[in-house]
Amino acid sequence: MKLFLDSAMTDEIAHALDMWDMDGLTTNPRHVMVSGKPFRTVIAEIAELVKGTDKPVSVEVNPHFTGCDEIVGQGRELAALSPNFVIKVGACEGGFKAIRELAKDGVRTNATLIMSVAQAWHAARAGAYFVSPFLGWKDQFGDSSDSLIGDVRAMLDKFGYKTEIIAAAVRNARQIGDVAIAGAHCVTAGAAVYLDSFRNPYTVHGESIFQSSWDQTPEA
Ligand code: E4P
């Protein structure tokens, strides 16, 4: 399973690329807003950080765009800015048609805000390169995301679609393992979730036992 960082903070991205060897990046309008920089500025900076690699960077079209033509127009324009860019398109009727049109041009897309197998089906059938089921957003409102990744994976495999799943809106370290087992091709999470996934209180406890033992062992 590939590990993507979900962020538009360039210092955080640079650290994650260097220290954690991320396989790719995802952004969204909220991450761009948090960066405090204009959309075009921040995506240009991110493109520079991955230049010369094959790491995909998902950049989202204007979320006000729900019609096929406007999504395709901006999607083509953004895709021309960097070979790393994958165009994020919201799951909606016009979005699925736009995914189909962009695929004809060879533009890779990431169908975002996927909440159901049916939406993932429409995206895969339209030729989406990635689908992003949003686990945390379902859980937040009392729905369950427990089976979504496994169900989408079963659907893709059953019908032979090459679309890859990015498990998105992942909120804790446990979910990274869960989505891997469920068959996600990729997971995207924030830096804080990855940091939590590296450590465990029992490991820290174990280290302190070993350190104490080391210190009490007589020297030669
Ligand atoms: C994924 O591509 C999304 O950017 C992301 O997971 C959205 O969720 P969040 O910003 O609430 O984590």
Pocket test for ligand 1, best of 2, 3, 4, 28 (most atoms within 8 A of CB): 28
Q: Can you give the CATH number for the domain in which 186 is found?
A: 3.20.20.70
User: How many C-beta atoms surround the C-beta of residue 48 within 10 A?
Assistant: 11
Per-residue pLDDT reduced to its tens digit, 148-158: 999 999 999 99
User: How many C-beta atoms surround the C-beta of residue 173 within 10 A?
Assistant: 17
Q: Which of 176, 177, 174, 162 is nearest to 131 (CA)?
A: 162
Residue 26 Cα: closest atom of ligand 1: 2
Confidence band (pLDDT; 50, 70, 90) for 107? Answer: very high
Average pLDDT, the chain: 98
Tell how far CA 183 is from the center of its chain: 15
Q: Tell me how many domains the chain contains.
A: 1
CA–CA distance, 20 with 3 (Å, rounded to integer): 9
Q: How much distance in Å is there from the Cα of 204 to the middle of ligand 1?
A: 30
The percent of residues above 90 in pLDDT, for the chain, comes to: 100
Per-residue pLDDT reduced to its tens digit, 18-45: 999 999 999 999 999 999 999 999 999 9
Per-residue pLDDT reduced to its tens digit, 37-82: 999 999 999 999 999 999 999 999 999 999 999 999 999 999 999 9
What pTM did the predictor assign?
0.96
Confidence band (pLDDT; 50, 70, 90) for 123? Answer: very high
Q: How much distance in Å is there from the Cα of 70 to the middle of ligand 1?
A: 23
Task: Supply the range of the domain harboring residue 126.
Answer: 2-216
